[in-house]
Structure 1
């Protein structure tokens, strides 16, 4: 069995006297979910640029999963800089927040596309906006295709989304939760 690896993260000002207990719970949940916990970093408020430092730790260790006691250790919301590079698992409640690679805003993109592609991207942008996202990613495009069944896979190829990508993602999106 392949073992996945993770890093633990907590803020000492949030854990306080419970720091040792929080570290133990991080280790326990990581092990229960099949992760090899490589290390746990515990930083206080005086640490400069903690999210930048956490990204450096992830990069140095070649990891893409963080286990933390709860979202309070990220001030209630996972920062985009972390969400771009890592899945985040919280101990309480036990949840996994999937990585969200950076997306490109359509307003920032300049390229020539067919009217069919423009219609698909406009629909995808509406879906992304309704979901509170600033950019469009593959899932939004695929959901737009489901919303507009008359659109063929041609526009996907035109914008660089090949069958190996849309086949897997479309299957994931259409599976019942």
Structure 2
């Protein structure tokens, strides 16, 4: 783990729509407020993408401790698929789904 924890931002084009720039700004703001270094923002379509696999790859590459997303709709309302490898933080409502609920090593595969 790095001295400053790392996070990645995540959003889906099909969910954000015209609010994409706003969602990105809110992800950046929340990362700063929570003390994360925002390594990257991942944009996915969602329709034909294995979202969990793509995010796990980005988490591994950046050694991220958290994924920050505008809301759970960007994760099809299923944060538990990522919570075994990092925290999931939503902007609106502001909430944290912590991996501490799953003690032990990070789980990268189902």
**TM-score of the superposition, structure 2-length normalised?**
0.84
Q: Tell me which residue corresponds to 2:8.
A: 7
Q: Is the 8 A contact 1:7 1:37 kept in 2?
A: yes
Number of equivalent positions: 101
Q: Tell me which residue corresponds to 1:73.
A: 74
Larger Rg: 1
Q: Is the 8 A contact 1:6 1:66 kept in 2?
A: yes
Structure 1 segments, 4+ long, off by >2 Å, are 45-48, 100-103
Q: Say what the alpha-carbon RMSD is for the aligned residues.
A: 1.7
**Structure with the higher helix share, 1 or 2:** 1
1:90 aligns with 2:90: yes
Q: Is the 8 A contact 1:85 1:101 kept in 2?
A: no
Determine the C-alpha separation between the residues in 1 that align with 2:42 and 2:48: 12
**TM-score of the superposition, structure 1-length normalised?**
0.53
Structure 2 residue runs without a partner (length 5+)? 105-110
CA shift for structure 1 position 45? 2.7
Q: Which has the higher contact order (CA 8 A, sep 6+)?
A: 2
Q: Tell me which residue corresponds to 1:135.
A: none
**Structure with the higher strand share, 1 or 2:** 2
